[in-house]
Amino acid sequence: MNDLLADAIAAGDLMEMQKVFAWAVAYIDQTHQWERDETVFESALA
């Protein structure tokens, strides 16, 4: 992944950087076993 990202950064290609990050997040989300904890999430937007 670093090679893909390095190429996109060197080219200044923001769309390609976004695709690499989106792929990484999707891969982590699909392969990771998420466990609930007592964390309370609050948003300043609401």
Longest dimension (CA), the chain: 43
pLDDT tens per residue across span 1-46: 678 788 888 999 899 989 988 998 999 989 988 888 998 888 888 6
Q: pTM of the entire structure?
A: 0.56
* Predicted local confidence at residue 2, as pLDDT: 76
Domain membership flag for residue 36: no
Are 28 and 19 in contact by the 8 Å Cβ rule? The answer is no
Number of domains observed in the structure of the chain: 1
DSSP assignment of 1-46 equals -HHHHHHHHHHT-HHHHHHHHHHHHHHHHHHS-----SPPP--TT-
Task: Answer whether residue 6 is part of any domain.
Answer: yes
Report which residue type is found at 13: D
Q: Which residues 6+ apart lie within 8 Å of 16 measured at CB?
A: 4, 7, 8
7 part of a folded domain: yes
What range does the domain containing 18 cover? 2-31
